[in-house]
Structure 1
């Protein structure tokens, strides 16, 4: 179980990279939108709120300066996460995957225990994934949902073939959503399931040192 969680974490982080351009995004057609996914807007204000939560948590840390320095493209990373979660939701729905509240509670408890407690778990996610305390549930949900999706589609996440299979499933869901991104944040790559033109090397740390569960969450 832990091996699958670790692999799910590595896969989702690998997908965190950081589609057609949203020519009208931020204009008359989609004012104030950071992206439009499946016809639903992700407001710039919602993205900014996520970034603000992370910055607030970082500033309260003894390593504030280093944490902020290491997450220079936080807005794009957070937008990636917001989009990726919607892609994952669509893929899970298509595969008939349903994650219960108990599953999420049990998963979070297990992850926190493995990390050395809730505080250590929260500190780890903030340092290695730019996840604020109030965003932890979403990060855990991403991991549980990703693992469940793999199981439902018969993919073994411990193998390159299984990871490629899940990526293909996510790509199919991504294409169905017709994702348009505000050009200021880059463009969405359906095949890679990530924001193109985005460099977030700090995210890659989780594949080596991250919580052995929820890479993310993601974006």
Structure 2
């Protein structure tokens, strides 16, 4: 994945990815979980709730049916995007904690005030974040905190968020957390710090066996 694109994913807590590949509702070790990150479980219901937050915000922002349909079409991988963001949130937070980096509420408020001024007000900022990053207004402050954490972490490391040293820190945090995804959504690549399609050799084996039987 392109380095600049990956940086944007962390800061926006969203990623463009393929649709869910498998249909299992959970894995054997963690039934009902969309992902397990360290000691934290991200349940399927929590994931679905977060997705619904975005859809509700999109519906409120574009009440016209045609515009809403276009909004859905441009965010067709929203479930995977959202899970990617939820996992990255925790990975970034662990990396920041390991580096002794923290962000205060006042810093978040200052960042938001500056962005609102650039966007022409709170509504303009909320609309921009929803359209560009699929971040609903209720999650805007959380996302700004993550942005600040990422920037502070990069500064602490003497690098930038689009440089290998930054992503190495996130990769190390991923390893510490032992990220485990429900195969429905793929698997977690600690080197790429990204959700990827699950490796399912049994699918190929079953397909091959069926081909032999019909040959």
Q: What's the TM-score once normalised by structure 2's chain length?
A: 0.78
For residues 80-127 of structure 1, the C-alpha deviation after alignment (integer angstroms, 9 at most, x for no partner) is 010001000100010000111111111111112112211111111111
1:195 Cα offset (Å): 0.7
Task: Tell me the distance in 1 between the aligned counterparts of 2:189 and 2:6.
Answer: 16
Q: Report the aligned-residue RMSD.
A: 2.1
Where structure 1 has 5 or more consecutive residues not aligned to the other structure, the ranges are 1-8, 19-23, 199-219
Which has the greater radius of gyration?
2
Name the CA shift for 1:10/1:187 in 2 (closer, same or farther; >3 Å): closer
1:10 Cα offset (Å): 6.1
Q: Are 1:101 and 2:105 an aligned pair?
A: yes
Q: Are 1:166 and 2:166 an aligned pair?
A: yes
Task: Tell me the distance in 1 between the aligned counterparts of 2:155 and 2:25.
Answer: 37
Name the CA shift for 1:155/1:50 in 2 (closer, same or farther; >3 Å): same
Where structure 2 has 5 or more consecutive residues not aligned to the other structure, the ranges are 18-23, 199-215
Determine the structure 1 residue equivalent to 2:179.
Answer: 179
Determine the structure 1 residue equivalent to 2:29.
Answer: 29
Task: Tell me the distance in 2 between the aligned counterparts of 1:115 and 1:64.
Answer: 22
Query: Could you tell me whether the CA contact under 8 Å between 1:17 and 1:80 is conserved in 2?
Result: no
Query: Could you tell me whether the CA contact under 8 Å between 1:25 and 1:35 is conserved in 2?
Result: no
Task: Tell me the distance in 1 between the aligned counterparts of 2:95 and 2:197.
Answer: 24
Secondary structure of residue in 1 paired with 2:195: strand
How do 1:6-45 and structure 2 match up within 5 A? Answer: 12-14=7-9, 16=15, 18=17, 26-45=26-45
Q: Are 1:141 and 2:145 an aligned pair?
A: yes
Range with greater deviation from structure 2 (56-65 or 174-183): 56-65
Task: Tell me the distance in 1 between the aligned counterparts of 2:108 and 2:126.
Answer: 16
Q: What's the TM-score once normalised by structure 1's chain length?
A: 0.77
Q: Which has the higher contact order (CA 8 A, sep 6+)?
A: 1
Name the CA shift for 1:118/1:43 in 2 (closer, same or farther; >3 Å): same
Determine the structure 2 residue equivalent to 1:55.
Answer: 55
Q: How many residue pairs get matched?
A: 181
Which of 75, 78, 81 is equivalent to 1:77?
81
Question: Where in structure 1 do 4 or more consecutive aligned residues deviate above 6 Å?
Answer: none
